[in-house]
Structure 1
Amino acid sequence: MSASYSSSSSEWPAGYRINPRVNLLDPTLVEAFREIPVAVAGDCMGRCIGARGLRAYHGDPALKLCGPAFTVRVRPGDNLMVHKALMMVQPGDVLVIDGGGDTSQAVIGGLVRTTALRVKLGGIVIDGAVRDLEELAEGIVPVFAAGHTHRGPSKDGPGEINVPVACAGLAVLPGDLVLGDADGVIAIRAEDAAALLPRTHAHLEREAGIRKTNQEGTADPERFDALLRSKGLPV
């Protein structure tokens, strides 16, 4: 299915929209990115892209998130559309929720996690709050959120499914590739993912070489001295 948002605005009440799932990524490409650290992907994308201020709530720092974005926009503190989204996702999808950064009421918790486990969700990223931290910390489903509170959500709407969202400073389109690890969360445009993969491999190889010279003490001092001289420092 192409990335199209063609449903007429007249078909939906104000503030509501449910678009079909967007499938743009080859599953083999998604699997290949599971080995790519978020920091490396970010370096290869200019070091200026990624969510800010999110915390991992799944307990295991080694648990990684990698999958196509299934986006949801909710009214802060409301999860009606989250429940609808969980009826539409496919295994491996990553639920990316724009909750407006509000942390006064949790949007997801242990009950949503139970459903996420059943549908084999690839993870949850929410610019909003979570609760039931002990259940989330059991792992299996990676969860990144802006904060937590015991106060539960409403289920009144409005909300939108599979629309472009902003999540903690990260722009995400439905079908984008979302990566998450101990360093943070990043989204890669679906049309850019295939070209980015070899660049990340080259970056990893380059870092391995630098790490080796750092360990052995054989790094070329000119790497940094030249930069300092360019700023007028006599080194």
Structure 2
Amino acid sequence: MNPIGYRMLERSSSPVTSDVLQQFATVGTAQISDCMQRLYGADGLRPMHGGTGRMVGLAVTVKVRPGDNLMIHKAIEMAGPGDIIVVDGSGDTTNALVGELMMMAAHERGILGFVIDGAIRDLDVFAQGEFGCFARGVSHKGPYKDGPGEINVPVSIGGQVICAGDVIVGDADGVVGIPAAHAADILVLALKKENAELVSKEKILAGTYQKPWLEKTIAEKTGAA
């Protein structure tokens, strides 16, 4: 058994179906976040890749010592098609945790992207490609490979706890994680919100959009109600 600090756990089978994942690809992170009461989502991570599509997959989580990527290498070997490597690097941006070679290795295994609460390097390569990458910053300084680190344990990414098998959605607005057990329910709410916003857009273009809540809220706040 691997000791604390070097645990490498196999991810349990996820209750999230491929159909649910495909439908999440049609919904923005903003709408998903709204449907989770605006409490959840990774703060401070931005897209580093050149693609404009939405990244959707299941989390393989990695917790590392700041500046060390030993267990990220191992996680890439353990992950497979449709997975997203989610790395808790404590938000430290002194040393890059991934770069071009690791991206290439992950891509060859069918991994969809990286979410790094830390730094990357070889930004020019990431910026030219479709491989999803969200990170806190960029550093030319390379990583160490000594450990410790753990795989498929709960991690903290930009203030959100992510567990192995959670749904990860990333787009131009950032990254949000959806707990696997709640993914189907959140999807229903997010699709409903997405459709409601489409109706609002049509009304705006037609000049019939109204905000009945606006004057009511102002009246309540100013005591005029």
Q: TM-score, normalised on structure 1?
A: 0.91
1:148 alignment counterpart: 138
- 1:36 counterpart letter in structure 2: V
Query: CA offsets, 1:32-54, max 9 Å, x none?
Result: 21111111111111012110111
User: Corresponding residue for 2:77?
Assistant: 87
Partner Cα distance (1:175, 1:209) in 2: 33
Give the Cα–Cα distance (whole angstroms) in 2 for the partners of residues 221 and 116 of structure 1.
47
* Aligned pairs for 1:68-83 within 5 A: 68-83=58-73
Look up the equivalent residue of 2:163 and give its one-letter code.
Answer: L
Amino acid at match of 1:195: D
CA RMSD, aligned part only? Answer: 1.4
Which residue is 2:5 aligned to?
15
More displaced, 219-228 or 188-197?
219-228
1:87-106 to structure 2, matched below 5 A, reads 87-106=77-96
1:198 Cα deviation from its structure 2 partner: 1.6
- After the TM superposition, which residues 143-182 of structure 1 pair with which residues of structure 2 at under 5 Å, given as runs? 143-182=133-172
Deviation at 1:234, TM superposition (A): 4.8
| Structure 2 partner of 1:121 | 111
Structure 1 letter corresponding to 2:61:
T
1:78–1:107 CA contact under 8 A, matched in 2? yes
* Structure 2 portions without partners, runs of 5+: none
Moved over 3 A (4+): none
Is residue 47 of structure 2 the alignment partner of residue 28 of structure 1?
no
How high is the sequence identity, in percent, across the aligned residues? 42
Q: How many residues align?
A: 224
TM-score (norm. length: structure 2): 0.95
Shift of 1:215: 2.4
CA drift at 1:232: 2.3
Tell me the residue number matched to 2:209: 219
Q: Unaligned stretches of 5+ in structure 1?
A: 1-10
* Residue in structure 1 matched with residue 193 of structure 2 by the alignment: 203
Q: SS of the counterpart of 2:7?
A: strand
1:221 Cα deviation (Å)? 4.4
Whole-Å Cα distance in 2 between the matches of residues 125 and 70 of structure 1? 10
2:36 aligned residue (45, 54, 62): 45
Match of 1:4 in 2: none
Q: What one-letter code is carried by the residue in structure 2 that aligns with 1:79?
A: N
